[in-house]
Chain A
Amino acid sequence: MSTAEAGTASHTGATGADRATKPRRTKKPKEVLVGQEKAERNFARLLITPALVVAVVVTQIPFLVTIFYSFQNWNLARPEARSFAGFDNYVAVVANGAFLPSLWATVLIVGGSVLLSLVFGLILAVLLDRKFPGQALARTLLITPFLVMPAAAALIWKWSMLDANVGVINYVLSLVGIDPVAWNTEHPALTIVMVLTWQYTPFMMLILLAGLQSQAGEVVEAAGVDGAGPLAVFRYMTLPHLRQYAELAVLLGTIMMFQLFDPVNIMTKGTGGTKTLPYLLYERAFIGQQVGEAAAYGVITVIVVLVVANVALRTLFKVFTEETK
């Protein structure tokens, strides 16, 4: 589905550029419906009402309840002392100073992982975008990390890869004469980035591979005839073509990685700049047992994400800017 969307986006993109230069579009005259048409419209509305109600209930009620909780003074260990808290929870969120470091940790870890997995994904996609024996097998093997459950991936990395005594990475380092590294203790944020990058590189690779395979062969051939070397073709033909695929990969990857929880809980327990927003929320709710405060964190997170996403989507991402023009 994601690649199909990207495909149509790139088609409209070509014409969108010309349209953008035209003066602002004039306001559509309001259509006036009468008789039969009006009845049909009302009937259609009636038909979609159940679906609409379900959609609203399923998507919006939990959020409204979260907002309600965020104004409650509610400690799980003292449920009988539940009361209206006003803005106390929001004051606590601002006052105890945990939110901004956590936001920063989330941005660093998710941002770093998205960029790294995009770069590795691009390299792998380019390597896979050619015919060779065993191509299907190689592709399947490369996709595997994305199919591993996050908790299982974190455990594999904790016990097999990064363990200070018997870990694979320290063993490889010892072969080149580097002393064992205490990954979790000394570089907790890096360990999380490593796990995320390992998991999401296949995802980025898949989307970019779809992009590469949709590139018309004639264009590349024509560029070759015009005297462009492989590097020039890649730089001036392939990369611009991939831009929208990369944007989509970054967007979806960010959304998925933003929910990062398992590796933090299993590997670092939120120390050393790895207390991401989901983990902070979990701590407030289930260790601090402050449901109201956790809900307030949740509400603030949604607001921050909405603002950032709106700005980012409208300015940075060609996929969306082209479509709305």
Chain B
Amino acid sequence: MSRRRQRLRGAGGLAVGTALALTLSGCAGFGELGQAPGVTTITLASVNNPQMQDLATLIPQFNAEHPDIRVNLLMMEENDLRNATTQDVATQGGQYDVMTVGSYEVPIWGKNGWLADVTDKMAEDPSYEADDFFPPIKESASVDGRTYAAPFYGESSFLMYRKDLLAEAGVEMPERPTWQQVADIARQLKTDERAGICLRAKPGWGEMFAPLTTVVNTFGGQWYDDQWNAKVNDQGFTDATRFYVDTLAESGQRDPVSFGFTECLNLFSQGNAAMWYDATSAAGSLESESSAVKGKVGYVRAPVEKTENSGWLFSWNLAISNESDSKDAAWEFVKWASSKEYVELVGNELSWAQAPSGTRASTFELAEYKQAGGEFAPLTAEIMQEVDPKQPGVAPQNWVGIQYVTIPQFQDVGNQTSQLIADVVAGRRELDSALNDGQQIAQRAGDQQKQEEGK
């Protein structure tokens, strides 16, 4: 691993050296060649998912409006992007002017002073309508009331179920189901061929623990209390995990530990599961032409137990590096990409199903989007406004975030704990002993956090 890093750094050094040599010889990089004076180049480091690829195809439109700004786009796979941008902002590299940053990192980086504060810039231009953003989405891109990134698209989680199968069995899905009700329905609909419900159990903080943490929240548990004491082997966490593991065993999919988002999507869209609790963004695929369950799927809010809501919240945001030399040009671009007009541009130029949603209330009011979004779009809009990333559970917490804890160590804590729970799912371990081990792992990170906040 570290050898690979070393090689990468070496390559980086070489590139820097070459660039320097070119600059010295009066030939400053290929990007600047033949460029008119007064043109600012900004570099955008972006994750390579479909919404960002759409953005890339529409950059010429931005150039038409802003001939004085040139956008240099670098697309990377999510993990690579995370490593590259973390390195850059943390070492004050300033290679990237604009970066796509997930809602897990925005608060951490904002707090560290690595991102430019865009609160005032957002308020400056009334036509940008900063109040149009869903409050939870904006909160998860903010620290202490200051916003550090412009939301680009967002998602929550909800329960998807097969209307035809429930009708056949004579069961009705409540509008706001509880987890107990969902477990009962799952038990009834489970057959040898078909899972009653598909729940992610593939280890990983972003796989198993995305849905499981929302279950923990609504069962009255949490990862940490507001003093950074770990709560992994407490009552709420234990109840939730036991419920999750038992539901999987009784009416979940076969071979649960293999199943993450992609696998559940595959299973459900082939008609081999009666229910599925996962990201709202999955609905688009379920209603597409290639899906065997198109038009047969109903959507309701994430099941609850002790809280009002339990949907999660995730967003990709456009953030400006604090080290950028051209913050104004960068903001012009960020403003354009996160504006209402951009959503319409995607709808008109590409297709309405591709429009980045989940961040602005106005998107869900567009007639064309409503039509493309069918049954799930209005519900998604409601959920996005209801969830509370500041306190998703019963007890108060010290971070903004629902299905994760916004501290750098959480990916490690979540990952290791999910592996322990996978052993419980497979029947290799007792739940209590697994959670006791998880508690120790979580407490180590909590102690570090206490130390940092104490200083």
Contact = CB atoms under 8 A, between A and B. Distances in A.
Contacts of B281: none
Given A182-B254, A183-B255, A289-B408, A165 B419 contact: no
A100 B97 CA distance: 44
B411 A289 contact: yes
B83 A76 contact: yes
Interface in B382-424: 408-409, 411-412, 415, 419, 422-423
Interface string A198-237: 0000000000000000000000000000000000000000
A283 interface: yes
Q: Which of A164, A183, A282, A295 has the most CB of B within 10 A?
A: A164
A29 to B, nearest CB: 44
Nearest to A292: B2
B1 A294 contact: yes
A189 B434 CA distance: 20
A273 to B, nearest CB: 9
Interface stretch (B84-92, B147-155, B157-165, B372-380): B84-92
Interface size class of B (residues with CB under 8 A): 35 or more
Contacts of B258: 158, 163-164, 182, 184-185, 267
A184 B87 contact: no
Interface stretch (B3-11, B332-340, B352-360): B3-11
Contacts of B86: 76-77, 79
B90 A62 contact: no
Interface string A96-139: 00000000000000000000000000000000000000000000
A182 B1 CA distance: 32
Given A62-B3, A76-B83, A269-B203, A164 B412 contact: no
B345 interface: no
Contacts, number: 112
Contact of A291 (B2, B255, B411, B425): B2
Contact of B426 (A186, A295, A298): A186
B90 A269 contact: no
A288 B2 CA distance: 13
B1 A165 contact: no
Q: Which of B1, B202, B422 has the most CB of A within 10 A?
A: B1
B6 A272 contact: no
B2 A272 contact: no
B417 to A, nearest CB: 12
Q: Tell me whether chain A's interface is mostly helix, strand or loop, or mixed.
A: helix
Nearest to B420: A271
Contact of B419 (A62, A163, A269, A285): A269
A295 B6 CA distance: 12
A255 to B, nearest CB: 16
B90 A182 contact: no
B195 to A, nearest CB: 9
Contacts of A268: 257
A298 B1 CA distance: 8
A271 B3 contact: no
Contacts of B427: 186
A158 B256 CA distance: 13
B3 A66 contact: yes
B108 interface: yes
Interface string B226-263: 00000000000000000000000000011111100000
Contacts of A275: 419
Contacts of B438: none
22 contacts: A66-B6, A69-B2, A75-B408, A76-B83, A180-B254, A182-B258, A184-B255, A184-B257, A184-B258, A267-B258, A269-B422, A272-B423, A283-B412, A285-B2, A285-B5, A287-B415, A288-B411, A289-B412, A291-B2, A291-B5, A294-B2, A298-B3
Given A183-B255, A268-B257, A295-B2, 14 more contacts: A62-B3, A77-B86, A77-B408, A79-B86, A79-B91, A158-B258, A185-B422, A188-B257, A269-B422, A270-B419, A283-B412, A285-B1, A291-B5, A298-B3
Sort A-B residue pairs by CB-CB distance and give the 6 closest, nearest first: A77-B408, A164-B255, A164-B254, A182-B255, A79-B90, A288-B412
